[in-house]
Amino acid sequence: MRFVWALLMIVLPSRLRRVLGRRVLGWDVHPTAYIGRSVILVPKVTLGPGSSIGPMNVIKDIEELRLGDGAIIGSRNWITGFPLGSVHFPHSPNRYPALILGDHAMVTVAHEIDCTDRVELATYATLAGFRCQVLTHSLNLVKDRQETSPVELGERCAVMTGCTILSGTRIPRRAIISAGSVVTTKLNREQAFYRGNPAEVVRDLPDTLRYFHRGEASPADVLSDADLG
């Protein structure tokens, strides 16, 4: 029956999608939240004030979707996982299949996000550009078994176009990951520019980067593209 309601989400006007989500599916949807024409098959959904899910997304087979105030999921994103109770991950009993966006965090366009375990973006963090892959499960070749681990994007970090973020990794606060990079481990240095496969620190970044001050009353001066290399 949930599949039928999910299909109705595609054809109903936005206002009625909110009503359907709240009254029929039991979601916590703020009156100012926006739900585009997307397939959302998730039992627990929380959409904060001003949050938005754009069109043509597929979000399914996870336990929870949570968007904080002003958080955004753009369009054409594929967000899936394996729900709790799946027989495929017996060696990860504490996993939690969820996508959690903090206040004003953003997932832009055409990304693939594996939420077999938790993927969390902190306040103002951005999965930017196009076609990034975020993976929370992997094959342990030593033990010959599938395992999972969460992925975390720190406050005001940005992951640029075409990056791959592997299971169990963390991107620190105010870090920028250059386009096409591969994050294979927990990164430690905050406010730094990372690049490569595996992603490594290229240099520290100045506090004057306006991206680090989004939402503040008096943002700092903008650096040019050349300043980021």
Nearest-angstrom CA–CA distance, 224 and 229: 9
Write down the pLDDT at residue 220.
44
Write down the pLDDT at residue 6.
67
Task: Write out the two tokens for 51.
Answer: 């949050």
Write down the pLDDT at residue 224.
47
Write down the pLDDT at residue 229.
43
Write down the pLDDT at residue 91.
87
Reading the chain (229 residues) residue by residue, the pLDDT tens digits are: 666 766 777 777 777 788 888 888 889 999 999 999 999 999 999 999 999 999 999 999 999 999 999 999 999 999 999 989 888 888 889 999 999 999 999 999 999 999 999 999 999 999 999 999 999 999 888 988 889 999 999 999 999 999 999 999 999 999 999 999 999 999 999 999 999 999 999 999 999 999 999 988 754 444 444 455 4
The 3-state DSSP class for residue 210 equals helix
What pTM was computed for the model? 0.90
Written out in words, the top-level CATH class of the domain with range 2-215 is: mainly beta
Write down the pLDDT at residue 173.
97
Domain boundaries, the chain: 2-215
The 3-state DSSP class for residue 145 equals strand
- Strand ordering across the sheet containing 58-60: 39-41, 58-60, 78-80, 112-114, 133-134, 164-165, 182-183
The 3-state DSSP class for residue 122 equals coil
